[in-house]
């Protein structure tokens, strides 16, 4: 057994300075020659809460030794909106707009997750119209694309590559425009409903999405050629912020971060939901777990999304988009205005909310950042008794302090970019 690297002396711990504690050195004799010549004082600096290279509003208090980070304190919470508590005061349907604001770069997936937990409690899982399930997968995958396009584009921009950012955000905008046509809102869609989706796809959706995907494929080829073998980009990404497979599992990381570290876990494959079992796609897995692998995984997932979407467009059946169950389906507007039966049903749905039987359920989906889960305790009324969201960003951010430890300040930017912390989701 090796001897302790730092011999302990009397009154040791209390006499040590922060620097000594952090660096594990006892006194100046232990310093290298260079360091003895230029002994730097530790400095505490703020990164954020409002910083151009930080995703969302988050504050990091860095303790730096020169340019090197020796300690950090990551402080989230600036975007806390009491999602879970607010949900107790809203009907199940009224929670959808709140979920839009979780991961606001991929709101459709959040919508689906929330709908699924209510459906699980009501025993509707698997009983939705097939078209509704396909639409959910289509909009979810489009949302995953907007998520990854934003993440990759913004990270590249933060490392100086402005062109890919503009290109990729242009792609994202095409997708947003399509989602806006479908749902009526560009960003906060609130499109999914318990028992299906709010409305059917637009008549020309098939052709528009195909065109959109074709264009995105072309843009991605251009962007990959600009980034994949770009020396600056690779130097800044490769070997930076690496995480081992064991660490990823131990800290509860999911999604692209865990997959980049070699964890083959994707909710769509491992706990298949909706119509994913009917679709062919691969789950990319990395080897090194560094920022470059995370980038590659996201790029590959974008391609898989396109693959899934093309299959969906081929396979999507015609039919209703809402389950035929008066307990959950709002009556048609014409019927609401013209028959007392539908008027009452509409009133009860809106004012009392959809009655979800008492019980507890956890439903989870593969979000843009990994497993996004909703846990609900229902008491038989139209509002959740308790709601909880397992937000991947929150878990991932908890690893940020470790990941940036020992790196340069400049490395915070790619590491943080690739963690892809979304304030709305992390802070709930």
Partner 1 sequence: MTDVVKPPIEAPKPAPVPAPPSDSVNLTIDGMPVTVKKGTNVLEAARTLGIDISAFCYHPGLQVVAQCRQCLVSVEKNPKLQPSCQQTCGEGMVVHTTDPQSTLARKQQLEFTLLNHPIDCPICDKAGECTLQRLYFEHDNADSRVDVTKVHKAKVVDLGPTIVLDQERCILCSRCIRACDEVAGDHQLEFAHRGDHQILTTAPGAQLDNPYSLNTVDVCPVGALTAKDFRFTMRAWELEATPSVCNGCATGCNIEIHHKHDRAWRLVPRHNPDVNKYWMCDEGRLTYHELREHRLAGALVDGLPAGWDRAIRAAADHLSPILAASRQAVGVVLSAEASNEDNFALGKLAKAWGVGSVYVAARPDVPGRADGRLRVADVNPNRRGVQLIAEALALGARPIAELSADVRCLVMLGAELPGVAPARLAELGIIAITSHERGAAAGARIALPAAAWAEVAGTVTNAGGLVQRMHAAFAPPGQALPGWEAVVRLAQATAAGAAGKLSYTHAREVFKDMTQTVAAWSALVWAREARPLALRFAGSRG
Query: In a 10 Å sphere around its CB, with 0-12 CB exposed, 13-18 middle and 19+ buried, how is residue 181 labelled?
Result: middle
Distance CA 105, CA 179 (A): 12
Among 331, 377, 386, 388, binds partner 1 (CB under 8 A): 331
Tokens 């594990």 -> residue: 24
Applying CB under 8 A, the span of 28-36, 255-263, 337-345, 415-423 interacting with partner 1 comes to: 337-345
Give the x-and-dash track for 109-148 against partner 1 (CB under 8 A). Answer: ----------------------------------------
Give the x-and-dash track for 347-386 against partner 1 (CB under 8 A). Answer: xx--xx----xxx---------------------xxx---
Closer to partner 1 by Cβ: residue 128 or 253: 128
Residues 391, 102 contacting (CB under 8 angstroms)? yes
Residues 369, 420 contacting (CB under 8 angstroms)? yes
- Secondary structure (3-state) at 84: helix
Among 326, 360, 362, 410, binds partner 1 (CB under 8 A): 326
Buried b (16+ CB within 10 A) or exposed e, 305-340: bbbbbebbbeebeeeebbbeeebbbbbeeeebeeee
Give the number of other Cβ atoms within 10 Å of residue 262's Cβ.
Answer: 18
Work out how close the CB of 350 gets to partner 1 at its nearest, in angstroms, rounded to a whole number.
10
Question: What DSSP element (H or E) covers 305?
Answer: helix 291-315
Total binding residues toward partner 1, as defined by CB under 8 A: 23
Among 22, 185, 226, 335, binds partner 1 (CB under 8 A): 335
- What's CA 244's distance to the chain center, in Å? 20
Give the x-and-dash track for 281-320 against partner 1 (CB under 8 A). Answer: ----------------------------------------
Distance CA 417, CA 47 (A): 14
End-to-end CA distance of the chain: 46
- Secondary structure (3-state) at 308: helix
Contact between 343 and partner 1 by CB under 8 A: the answer reads: yes
* Residue 331 tokens, joined: 């009556």
Contact between 211 and partner 1 by CB under 8 A: the answer reads: no
Contact between 428 and partner 1 by CB under 8 A: the answer reads: no
Applying CB under 8 A, the span of 52-60, 253-261, 341-349, 399-407 interacting with partner 1 comes to: 341-349
Closer to partner 1 by Cβ: residue 38 or 340: 340
Contact between 38 and partner 1 by CB under 8 A: the answer reads: no
Contact between 1 and partner 1 by CB under 8 A: the answer reads: no
Q: Are strands 59-65 and 68-75 parallel, antiparallel or unpaired?
A: antiparallel
Applying CB under 8 A, the span of 33-41, 50-58, 306-314, 332-340 interacting with partner 1 comes to: 332-340
Binding residues vs partner 1 (CB under 8 A): 326-327, 331, 335, 337-345, 347-348, 351-352, 357-359, 381-383
């Amino acid at each position: 057994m090796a001897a302790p690297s730092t011999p302990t002396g009397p009154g040791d711990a209390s006499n040590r300075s922060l620097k000594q504690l952090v660096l594990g050195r006892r006194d100046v004799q232990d310093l290298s020659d260079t360091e003895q010549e230029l002994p730097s004082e530790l400095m505490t600096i703020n990164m954020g809460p409002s910083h151009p290279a930080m995703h969302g509003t988050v504050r990091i208090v860095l303790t730096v030794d020169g340019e090197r980070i020796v300690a950090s304190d990551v402080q989230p919470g600036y975007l806390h909106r009491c999602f879970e508590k607010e949900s107790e005061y809203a009907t199940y349907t009224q929670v959808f707009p709140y979920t839009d604001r979780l991961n606001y770069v991929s709101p459709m997936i959040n919508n689906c997750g929330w709908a699924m937990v209510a459906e699980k409690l009501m025993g509707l899982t698997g009983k939705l119209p097939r078209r509704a399930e396909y639409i959910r997968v289509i909009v979810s995958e489009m949302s995953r694309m907007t998520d990854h396009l934003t993440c990759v584009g913004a990270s590249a921009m933060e490392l100086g590559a402005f062109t890919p950012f503009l290109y990729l955000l242009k792609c994202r905008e095409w997708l947003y425009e399509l989602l806006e046509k479908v749902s009526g809102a560009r960003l906060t869609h609130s499109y999914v409903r318990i028992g299906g989706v709010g409305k059917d796809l637009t008549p020309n959706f098939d052709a528009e999405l195909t065109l959109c995907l074709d264009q995105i494929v072309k843009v991605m080829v251009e962007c990959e050629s600009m980034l994949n073998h770009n020396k600056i980009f690779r130097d800044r990404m490769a070997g930076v912020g690496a995480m081992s497979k064991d660490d990823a599992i131990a800290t509860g990381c999911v999604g692209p971060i865990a997959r980049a570290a070699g964890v083959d876990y994707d909710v769509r494959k491992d706990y298949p939901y909706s119509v994913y079992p009917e679709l062919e796609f691969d789950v990319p897995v990395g080897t090194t777990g560094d920022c470059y692998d995370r980038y590659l995984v996201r790029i590959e997932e974008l391609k898989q999304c396109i693959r899934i979407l093309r299959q969906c467009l081929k396979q999507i059946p015609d039919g209703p988009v809402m389950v035929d169950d008066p307990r959950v389906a709002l009556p048609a507007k014409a019927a609401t205005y013209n028959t007392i039966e539908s008027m009452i049903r509409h009133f009860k749905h809106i004012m009392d909310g959809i009655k979800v039987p008492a019980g507890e359920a956890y439903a989870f989906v593969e979000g843009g950042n990994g497993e996004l889960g909703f846990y609900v305790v229902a008491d038989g009324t139209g509002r959740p008794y308790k709601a909880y969201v397992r937000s991947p960003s929150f878990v991932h951010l908890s690893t940020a302090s470790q990941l940036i430890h020992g790196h340069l300040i400049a490395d915070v930017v790619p590491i943080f970019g690739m963690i892809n912390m979304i304030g709305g989701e992390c802070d709930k």
